[in-house]
Amino acid sequence: MDNRHPSHPRLPSPPSGEAFPPVVVLRAMKLRNSGLLTASAMFGLLLLGGCSKVSEAAVADDRPTTTAPSQATPQETPQAAGAVDNPNFSVRLTFEGPCKKGETCTALVTVDAKGGYHINDKYPYRFKVADPAPAGVKFPKPVVNRDDGTFTETKAVLRVPFVAETAGEAKVGGTLSFSVCSDEKCLIEKQALEASAKVE
């Protein structure tokens, strides 16, 4: 008789008058043991699943939360504004008189110092127009400086010429470099401005 089991090596022959334990008992024990192992494995997986959820929650709590940005105001995004205002100065881009197509019109870039500040009379104020220029608009002077403006203690006005080729609206924009001072310090600023003129 071949006393081999599929998963074990060949067993030695038993002593005379004795027999091996029934193979069926060994198989039953294996089934019971495997059942215990299966139950233990399932229980462990359940525990791991629970821990996994807790870990994910903990990671989620540590992740930075993002909030939708609030709608920007001209003060928060001055580069998109025709006017900017803060406690130390205000800046605006407006237009002088009616504007007709094909004629030279004038944009006014105005700085008002406030809150104890005054116009810095030693700073080279200048307005550099947008480059490239908006469609349908031409600028006779790409850079306007102090010589093209008027200055008082608290106000500076630069005159920016432009020509609109068609009637309707003409965008005028650029970057203003300016400075205002108080008794304690001077602020040196760059402010991008843009506004639309009505063209007849």
DSSP 72-124: P-TTT-GGG-SEEE-SSEEEEEEEES-B-TTSEEEEEEEEEE-TT-EE-TTS-
Per-residue pLDDT at 67 exceeds 70: no
CATH number for the segment(s) 78-199: 2.60.40.10
Residues 27-39: pLDDT tens digits? Answer: 434 434 444 444 4
Cβ count near 129 (within 10 Å): 23
pLDDT recorded at residue 82: 87
Q: Where are the domains of the chain?
A: 1-64, 78-199
Q: Tell me what the mean pLDDT of segment 139-162 comes to.
A: 96
pLDDT of residue 192: 95
What tokens does 142 get?
């790409």
Residue-level pLDDT at 64: 36
Interval 4-27: pLDDT, tens = 444 445 555 555 555 555 444 444
pLDDT for res 17:
53
pLDDT digits (tens, 9 = 90+) for 99-132: 999 999 999 999 999 999 999 999 999 999 999 9
Residue 76 reports pLDDT greater than 50 = no
Residue partners of 156: CB distance under 8 A and separation at least 6: 110, 111, 119, 125, 149, 150, 178
